[in-house]
Amino acid sequence: MEEIVHRVVRVNGIRLHYAEAGTGPLVLLIHGFPECWYSWRHQLTALAAAGYRAVAFDQRGYARSDRPRRVEDYTIMNLVGDVIGLLNALGEERAVIAGHDWGGGVAWQTAQLRPDRIRGVIGLSIPHLPRAAMPPTPLMRVGLGEGYYMLHFQKPGVADAELSRDLYDTFRRMLYAPSGDGPQGASLNVPEGSGFLDICPLPDKLPGWLTEEDIDVYVTEYAEAGFTGGLNWYRNLDRNWELTAPWHDAPVLPPALYIVGDRDMTLGMLPDEMISTESVPNLRGTVLLPGCGHWTQQERPEEVNAAMLDFLRSLD
C-alpha cells in the first residue's frame, strides 16, 4: 500500500495540514462537513498506486489546520484562495480537484473562478449550483422553513456546543443518518426546541463501510478543533452570494464529472438533469451509485475510485 505522509504549509497567513501519497499529476481532494483529510483515505492510496500525486487537506477551520476566529474569514473567496495558495505551496501550476459536500462547492467555485489553474473538476454529492437571483437564506426560509438545518446552523454557538458535547455520539449519528444505510426520507428540519442531532438517529450498529476505528479517527481529529470553523461556512452563505455577483451565470469551463448516490438527500432538491450543460458545458458524465447515500467516497470507495480514474485518464 502506498504510504501516506502528513505535512503542514503556510497559505494566506494560516497553516494548512495535508496528507499526501504518490507522485505524478496532482489530484487535490477537498472534504466537506463534518469531515477532514481522512474522508479521502481510500482515494489517497488508490490514486497514488495509479500514478498520481494525491493530496487531501484539512480546510481552514477543520481538524489540524488553523481556525481563524472571525466568521467573515470563511467566505468562498477565502476557501478558493486556500486552494490556489496550496497549489502554489505544492509547486503545481495546475491540478484536478475533487470535492465532496461543502468541498464540492469549493471545487466547483474554484473551477469557475480560476479555470487557468484547474485541469478538471470532480464533484461528489453536490453538483454545481448556479448563483440564484436572491440570497440563499431568504430562499430557504420561504421554501424549506425556519427549521431547515442550514438556517439552524446560522445561530452562533448553538450547533457548535451541541455537536461538541459528545464526539463519539455526534459522529455515529452524523455519519450514519444521511448514508445509504440510514433511514430514507428523513427530515432536514430541526423542530423548535430540538437540536440537529435529534434528526440524526443513532444506529444499532455501524454500517459495513464505517468502523469503530474510523469513528476514533474523527473524534481525535475534532477533539481540539471542534465544529465552529466548519459551521462558519454556513454563516457566510449570503455573504458568498454577494461576493460572487461578478460571476453570475459564468460557466464552469474545465472538464467535469459528477458522482452521486441514489440515496443521497441532495437528490430530492435537484432538477431532473442534476447539472445543466449550460452552466457546466464540458461535463463528461454523471455517475449514479445505487444504494449509496451522502458519504460518497467513504461508502463506495471502489466505484468512486474507478470513476475518478477513468475521468483522470481521459484528461491525460
Catalytic positions, please? 101, 294
Assign residue 291 a region: left if phi > 0, alpha if psi is -120 to 50, beta otherwise?
A: left
β-strand pairing of 53-57 with 26-30: parallel
Task: Give CA–CA dist 105/212, Å, rounded.
Answer: 29
SS3 breakdown of the chain: % helix, strand, coil, rounded to 5? 45, 15, 40
DSSP string covering 217-233: HHHHHHHHH-SHHHHHH
115 to 2, 65, 112, 230: CA distances (angstroms):
30, 26, 6, 26
CA distance 235 to 237: 6
* Cell numbers for 102: 461543502
Residue 32 phi, psi dihedral angles, 5° rounding: -115, -150
CB 19: neighbour CB atoms within 10 A?
A: 21
Residue 259 in contact with residue 304, Cβ under 8 Å? yes
